[in-house]
Amino acid sequence: MNNTLLILKNEYLKRVKKKSFIILTLLVPFLFAGMFALIIFLSLNNDKKERTIAVFDESTLFLGEFGEEEYTKYHFIPKEEYQDLKTNLKNTDFYALLYIPGNIYSNNTAQLISEKQLPIELGEQIERKLSRFIENDKRQKVIAESGIPDLEERLASTSTRVQLNTLKISDSGETQKSSSTIAFIASYAMGFIIYFFVFMYGAMVMRSVMEEKKSRIIEVIISSVKPSQLMAGKIIGTALVGLTQVAIWIVLGVVVLIGVQAFFTPESAQEMGQSLMETQSQMNPAMAQAADQNKVMEVMEMIGNLNLPLILFSFVFYFLAGYLLYSSLLGAVGAAVDNDEDSQQMVLPVTFPLILSIMLLFPIARNPEGPVAFWASIIPFTAPVAMLARVPYGIPTWELLLSMFLLILTTVGAIAAAAKIYRVGLLMYGKKVNIKELIKWLRYKN
Amino acid sequence: MELFEAKNVDKVFAATQALTDVSISVKEQSIFGLLGPNGAGKTTLIRIINQITAPDRGEVFLNGQKLTRADISKIGYLPEERGLYKKMKIGEQAIYLAQLKGLSKQEATRNLKQWFEKFEIMAWWNKKVEELSKGMQQKVQFITTVVHKPKLLIFDEPFSGFDPINTNLIKQEILQLRNDGATVIFSTHNMGSVEELCDDIALINKSVKIEDGPTDKIREKYKSNIYEIKYRGDYNNVNHSLGQQYKIIGHSEMEKENHLTIQYLNGNSNNDLLQALMPVSEILSFEEVIPSMNDVFIKAVEESNKK
């Protein structure tokens, strides 16, 4: 059997058979599922605690007007009791004490007193209640003074919300519905996936090289195979480990998804949807309107209108090129150092562009045409993450081609340089390596 | 017939001259000792033979043909700094290493099992390396070096880490491999084992080969007129009778006989010595001391350093 293939197989099986790999791979989807289940569970059981809030209304405007909510009741109390409660809240059944001062109309402040940290939501609820009441009251007065009987209706009819439908003109002149939000999510997600995998599996290659060097098996191995074969086997083998992991996650993800759907009956799903809707409409009444439209269909249409083949192609290309570039560099680092501290020192300069590109992801996704986005996606070391973040928005062909060309060129160069450092470094022990030393190694012949 | 030859090999690392015009030739089915102080260039030469590095100048031949990548499977190499994958099982690992040398999986398994049984270590097959002691690991490494039946075997300090019993076992195995047709290049600082095993040697010092040839001839060459005499008689009389013509290197008095080691100083003959001794003692035996490899090594290296 071909040696590269043998090494590849060995690297692959060694990792895939590891307990930690199996456990992690199986656990991650369940962790995510569990996390989502927990969030859903918590949001369903959100704030079901019965609370009674004592209200001292100095202004006397609100007496009896407060009503009550599902889990929050309001109990109005006279001044004497307020004084009493203020110092002795702990020993009563009241959850909190609301003080509405007499001059609330003019200075718009009230106090909510409690001895524990109050949920933000509760405060907002009361704020809304008070504001709406006072606003209504003021409006009624204005209407009454104006003498226009249907002013309220007329004012209400002026409320306007413009919905912006973004359309994109394709090369053939057709207009398509596009969504910046969807493109944003897509670009962010893809940039992050690439970052995550390049980093994780690149580091795996590095550790594998270091292990061989540290255990001193390396000299036996390279007396049997060429260092370049060893490196190729390692890099490809590790990539396959990554792909295996992703494949398992996809399968498990589908299984878990089906499981979750079965677990949450349609009723509970409906309930959940409703409660989500409620919170949404509470936060922004205008959004509720939009939610009425057949959003799902629209989203599907907009996803369909992204240039999916191009995105998929770019994703695969930048994923592979990015992984090759960084894993070969990290492999060289692993060969150059012979202890963990040194490796950490060397890893940072190598992976810095990758970290930079993930930090630039947000500005790029916000403004995919800007100079930051342009340069980050052209410079090969940041291109895998940066360019992918731009692709969903549509990108001039020449920029894409230039970026790919430069990336290929750099990757080939990096592999050649890494192979050289690798070969020299593998049998070099006890030497403190730095960049200067590495450059010297590059000049060695054979 | 030479199995292996290196001709005029030069190798420079940055500012260090590792090998200067080194030529060696190793006869088929012989054991060849590659000797020299630390840092002399032995490991570099061995790495060139294994094609881990390439020479700057000069050529290496196996069986009269220029060494190529395809010859890798004909060579077995046990490096001085050696290790195994700590987390892999012994059997699995040995099969992998044998496969890298070109054996099929079945062949590798079959050969390995034979060796494991021979060394009585079958019980380790499914253990991980980290569970084994250093000596045990060395045994596994020895097996993985020879399992693909290479024509040329290279051992760099093969006995380090072994107790005397296992050292002896490995020595016997090396001799057996040689008798079965393998050719061995053997690098060590253990001069006793060189005397025992090596048919020929080459001595490298500071990148230059300073001595080579059959082991006994080289030892012969470094003889320096030193003789050991066993006699009965009084040491003082003997000493007096020898006078200034001989340098006494050592003497010891036993119950039944005395030992004396002397060096001829002024081109004396053996008969001169006997004539001087006979009147004052009874000579039991008399022989010239052939220097140990240890002495040869030290003398040759010191002389070359003086130049």
Tell me which residue has tokens 């070391």. A381
B55-81, pLDDT tens digit by residue? Answer: 989 999 999 899 988 888 899 999 988
Q: Which domains does chain B have, with CATH numbers?
A: 2-220 (3.40.50.300), 224-289 (3.30.70.60)
Q: Average pLDDT in the A67-96 region? A: 78
Confidence of residue A172 (pLDDT cuts 50, 70, 90): low
Closest to B44 measured CA to CA, from B6, B73, B76, B71: B6
**Cβ-Cβ contacts under 8 Å, B77 against chain A:** 219-220, 223
Nearest residue, CB atoms, B86 vs list A215, A427, A444: A215
Q: What is the pLDDT of residue A27?
A: 84
Which 3 state secondary structure label does DSSP give B253?
strand
Q: What is the pLDDT of residue A286?
A: 46
Give Cα separations from B272 to A285, A313, B223, B268 (angstroms): 126, 97, 19, 6
A351 to chain B nearest CA, in Å?
28
Which residues are within 8 A (CB) of B229 and not within 5 positions of it... i.e. 6 or more apart? B259, B260, B261, B262, B273, B277, B283, B285, B286
Comparing alpha-carbon positions, the chain A residue that sits nearest to B101 is: A224
Mutation for A interface: B100, B101, B105, B153, most A CBs within 10 A: B100
Nearest residue, CB atoms, B100 vs list A211, A224, A429: A224
B14 to chain A nearest CA, in Å?
8
Confidence of residue A420 (pLDDT cuts 50, 70, 90): confident
A99-141, pLDDT tens digit by residue? Answer: 888 888 787 888 888 877 777 777 888 888 888 888 888 888 8
Residue B83 near chain A (CB below 8 Å): yes
Q: B194 phi and psi, to 5 degrees?
A: -65, -45
> Which A-chain residues 392-431 have CB contacts (< 8 A) with chain B?
427, 429
Residue A6 near chain B (CB below 8 Å): yes
**Cβ-Cβ contacts under 8 Å, B75 against chain A:** 223
Query: How many other β-carbons are positioned within 10 Å of the β-carbon of residue B90?
Result: 26
Confidence of residue A285 (pLDDT cuts 50, 70, 90): very low
Q: Average pLDDT in the B201-221 region? A: 91
Share of chain B above pLDDT 70, in %: 100
Residue B51 near chain A (CB below 8 Å): yes
Interface touch B85/A220, C-beta < 8 Å: no
Q: What is the pLDDT of residue A120?
A: 75
Q: What is the pLDDT of residue A170?
A: 60
Q: Are B146 and B73 in contact (CB under 8 A)?
A: no
Mean pLDDT score of chain B: 90
Bridge partners for A113 per DSSP: A97
Token output for A338: 């012979």
Q: A64 phi and psi, to 5 degrees?
A: 75, -5
Q: Which of A306-310, A326-330, B165-169 is least confident?
A: A306-310
Give Cα separations from A420 to A149, A201, A328, A401 (angstroms): 88, 21, 11, 29
Residue A79 near chain B (CB below 8 Å): no
Share of chain A above pLDDT 70, in %: 82
CATH 3.40.190.10 range(s) for chain A read 51-148
Residue B96 near chain A (CB below 8 Å): yes
Mutation for B interface: A19, A216, A223, most B CBs within 10 A: A223
B279-304, pLDDT tens digit by residue? Answer: 888 888 888 888 999 989 999 999 88
A177-208, pLDDT tens digit by residue? Answer: 666 677 777 778 888 888 888 888 899 999 88
Q: What is the pLDDT of residue A196?
A: 85
**CA distance linking residue B17 with residue B10, whole number of Å:** 8
**CA distance linking residue A308 with residue B14, whole number of Å:** 53
Give Cα separations from A409 to A404, A412, A413 (angstroms): 9, 5, 6
**Cβ-Cβ contacts under 8 Å, A224 against chain B:** 72, 97, 100-101
Q: What is the pLDDT of residue B24?
A: 93
Confidence of residue A292 (pLDDT cuts 50, 70, 90): very low
Q: Mean pLDDT: which of A232-241, B10-19, B237-246 is highest?
A: A232-241
CB pairs under 8 A between A and B: 64
Q: What is the pLDDT of residue A182?
A: 74
Domain A51-148: which CATH number of 3.40.50.720, 3.30.750.24, 3.40.50.1980, 3.40.190.10: 3.40.190.10
**CA distance linking residue A110 with residue A61, whole number of Å:** 13
